[in-house]
Every structure is written in C-alpha cells, then in structure tokens.
Amino acid sequence: MTRRACIIAIDGPAGAGKSTVAKHIAAHFGFLNLETGAMYRAFALKALETGVDVDDAAALQRLAVETAIKLEPAEAGNRVLLDGVDVTGRIRTAEVTQAASRVSVHPAVRAWMVSLQRAMGKNARVVMEGRDIGTVVFPHADLKFFLDASPEARSQRRYEQTEPVAERDGARAEGRARDAAKAARIAKELRERDERDRNRAESPLRAAEDAIVIDSTNMTLNEVLKFIEDQVEEHLRLPVVSEEL
Ligand code: DC
C-alpha cells in the first residue's frame, strides 16, 4: 500500500492550544509534528544573542544568510537546532517570545522561513502548526484548522502553564498579589502579540477561506481532539486524487 502525503495545517493566535493539539493529533496518526513558531523563536534568539536589532529588516536579512535552523521531531516535542546547537530550552522566555513576534513581521524573514517549511513538509505526512500554514506555506494543505479562543481564555491558559507564586509562597497575600500581577502581564503581552501577528502587512494571522474554524473557548482539549480526529479520519478514507501539493 502506498502511503499518501498529507499536510494538516493548524493555525491560530497565541495561547489557543495549537501546540498541544498538534502534538496529540500527530501522535494519534503517526504524522510528523512541525511547530513553525519555534523556528521564528530560534531566529529571534540568534538576533538577541548577536545584538542584531529585531526591527532592522536589512540586518536580519543578512543574519538569516548565516543562520541554520532545523526542527527535529522528537518524542517529547520538537527539538530546535540553531546553527547545530539545541536551543529548545531557551526559546520560551518572555524576551524571546516578544522578539519572535517582531522578527516575524519582516517579509525577507518570512520568505526564508516559508521555503524551509515547504521543504520540510514536501511529500510528508505532517501536522504543521503556525500562523500562515493554511494561507501561505501550504495553501493546498489537505486539511486546514484555525484554532481560536477568546483573549481571556487564552491568557488564562497561558497563565495556568506557569508556576503559581501564591502556592509556592504558601498563599500569602504578597504571593497572591504577585500572581495577579503576573496574570495581568501575561494578558498584556498576549494582546500585544495578537495585535502584531494580526496586523502585520506580510501574511497576517487570519483563517484561510477553506479552513475549519474551531472556537475552543468553551471546549475541553478532548473535545477539540475528537473533532479534529474525526475530520482527519474522514479525509484519509477519501481516495487519493493527486499527490501534488
Ligand atoms: O507559535 P509561537 O507563539 O511559538 O510563535 C512565535 C511567534 O512567531 C509569533 O508571535 C508569530 C510568529 N509566527 C509566525 O509569524 N508564523 C508562523 N507560522 C509561526 C509563528
């Protein structure tokens, strides 16, 4: 039996649960899971470490020429290699998060990333997750999902991924105040990133016309997974019409 290539695109704003969903769906169907945000993050890390201004398009373009970014799918998620060095553990800081959003507005950076991503997805069975997968990277993807949730729900989910200060401090008033400040900071950073991701001139975040939009505000993870799995199973039962992507 020939294995058909299959691209499943999952796009959406920060904090909508894309990474978690993509990881589960990829594991369920035995597909590769490629998290494209990690590539922008790795490049942002390089800019920060080499002192290149994340708003300087020409300098970033020069930096890109001498940068190698690779995603290596692994059991526990993607490993990100920056110039051959594993930077997986260093790309999730608040500083890199904001810098990634800034480097990603530049057309030359995006064109470079898109070409790398197309090469990674070619003839593969892959769940690719990002902001522009269904609109730009693979406009002919087999299935496109746009995973959304209200800003409040997304901020809350991000907050819950962090360690609560109050618990660590024995729920003292001071700890609780710091928790509240952290929640407010996370909500603010998310709003800023949303604003930049949705309003940039080049490939702004939006749902492709043929994407299935899922508003997960009031859905559990299992409900989202079941919905997507059903769609993918139905798709995989269809006869192969063309291998062209
Ligand atoms: O998904 P993430 O939060 O790790 O992404 C980090 C940043 O990278 C995000 O603010 C926007 C950018 N990004 C993008 O522009 N296009 C993608 N396909 C993936 C991420």
Task: Dump pLDDT digits (tens) for 212-230.
Answer: 999 999 999 999 999 999 9
Residues in a beta bridge with 74: 77
Q: Rounded mean pLDDT of 56-80?
A: 91
Correct CATH for 6-234 of 3.40.190.10, 3.40.50.300, 3.30.70.20, 1.10.287.1080:
3.40.50.300
Structural domain boundaries in the chain: 6-234
Q: What angle do CA 32, 36, 42 make, to 5 degrees?
A: 120
CA dihedral 149, 153, 155, 161 (to 10 degrees): -100
Q: From the CA of 137, how far away is ligand 1's center (Å)?
A: 13
Rounded to whole angstroms, the Cα distance separating 115 from 106 reads: 15
pLDDT at residue 3 is higher than 60? yes
pLDDT of residue 242: 57
- Cβ–ligand 1 contact at 142 (below 6 Å): no
Q: Is 129 in the pocket of ligand 1 (CB under 6 A)?
A: no
Is the CB–ligand 1 distance for residue 11 below 6 Å?
Answer: no
Q: What gap in Å lies between CA 87 and CA 43, rounded to an integer?
A: 10
Q: What is the pLDDT averaged over residues 228-242?
A: 88
15 lines ligand 1 (CB under 6 A): no
For residue 7 the two structure tokens come to 């691209």
How does strand 77-82 pair with strand 6-11? unpaired
pLDDT number for residue 108:
96
pLDDT, position 215:
96
